[in-house]
Copies of this chain bind each other. A is one copy, B any other.
Amino acid sequence: MQVIRSIAELRNWRKDAGTVAFVPTMGNLHAGHLALVAEAHRHAQKVVVSIFVNRLQFGQGEDFDAYPRTFDADCAKLEAAGVDVLFFPTEAELYPRVRQAYNVEPPNLQNELCGAFRPGHFRGVATVVTKLFNIVEPDFACFGKKDYQQLAVIRGMVEDLNSPVVVVPVDTGRADDGLALSSRNGYLSDAERAEAPRLYRNLSLIREALAGGDSDYAALEARAKDDLTAHGWRVDYVEVRHAHSLEVAHAGEKHLVVLAAARLGRTRLIDNIEVDR
């Protein structure tokens, strides 16, 4: 595996690389990321992974400085996964002017769900992904469904700005007890880790109810929030939405997604489940 740190060198490599599938990450890699890499191999001759902790998508008081940097361990995993190029730029390489002046601005969806709790987050995601797409020029790019709203923003952006990239959504990797794999799981104490699967269990209960024909979204959301709160969670949201647009779902809607974000101690966990009925 080649580790490339400069944009110029990456562009030079890209010229003769054939088809490329790309997996942008912030490092601290786990099995969920490796599932993205495995999917990437199915689409193109070469696989590029980037590791870049993107300051632009962290808000004030969020965990940018504390975000785990585990470069050596990440390299070993990517090497073993057959990645061709790891793109690992410095902040100065990606943000030479310090302040990013031109931004990709998503529509109002960016201020709902997670966006309501993380102002500017999805602008930061859309902008860095645009930059990375322009540098790597991938044919395919893999994004996990775990960050469902992020996936929706990237898909919308690619479609609306005509990016020449095919977005490949990849199912969420889970621990045996259902907890969605996430870099932030590493922040959990043993007791919190034991409690954490409750988020997925509540989403599963809502899925069962929806699949059975229940369309009282508000009641289903409230029941899940109550259960989480009763067990020490601080709930940001539990919402049933239209699966593709992420708009508020009408009763009887067939393609749904149930999304949730909640905090256990200092750790914010998110998860979601799609429901077709």
Contacts and interface: CB of A to CB of B under 8 A. Distances in A.
A134 interface: yes
Interface stretch (A64-72, A97-105, A194-202, A218-226): A97-105
Interface stretch (A155-163, A204-212, A250-258, A261-269): A155-163
Given A131-B162, A162-B135, A102 B157 contact: yes
Contacts of A162: 7, 131, 134-135
Interface string A116-134: 0000000000110011001
A106 interface: yes
Nearest to A93: B162
Q: How many copies of this chain?
A: 2
Contacts of A271: none
Contacts of A160: 97, 100-102
A274 interface: no
Nearest to A97: B160
A11 interface: yes
B104 A105 contact: yes
A245 to B, nearest CB: 10
Interface in A1-36: 7, 11
Nearest to A102: B160
B134 A164 contact: yes
B106 A102 contact: yes
Given A137-B164, A161-B131, A162-B7, A104 B104 contact: yes
A97 B156 CA distance: 11
A186 interface: no
B106 A105 contact: no
A107 interface: yes
A177 to B, nearest CB: 38
Please provide the 4 A-B residue pairs with the shortest distance between their CB atoms, ordered closest to farther.
Answer: A101-B107, A102-B160, A134-B162, A105-B105
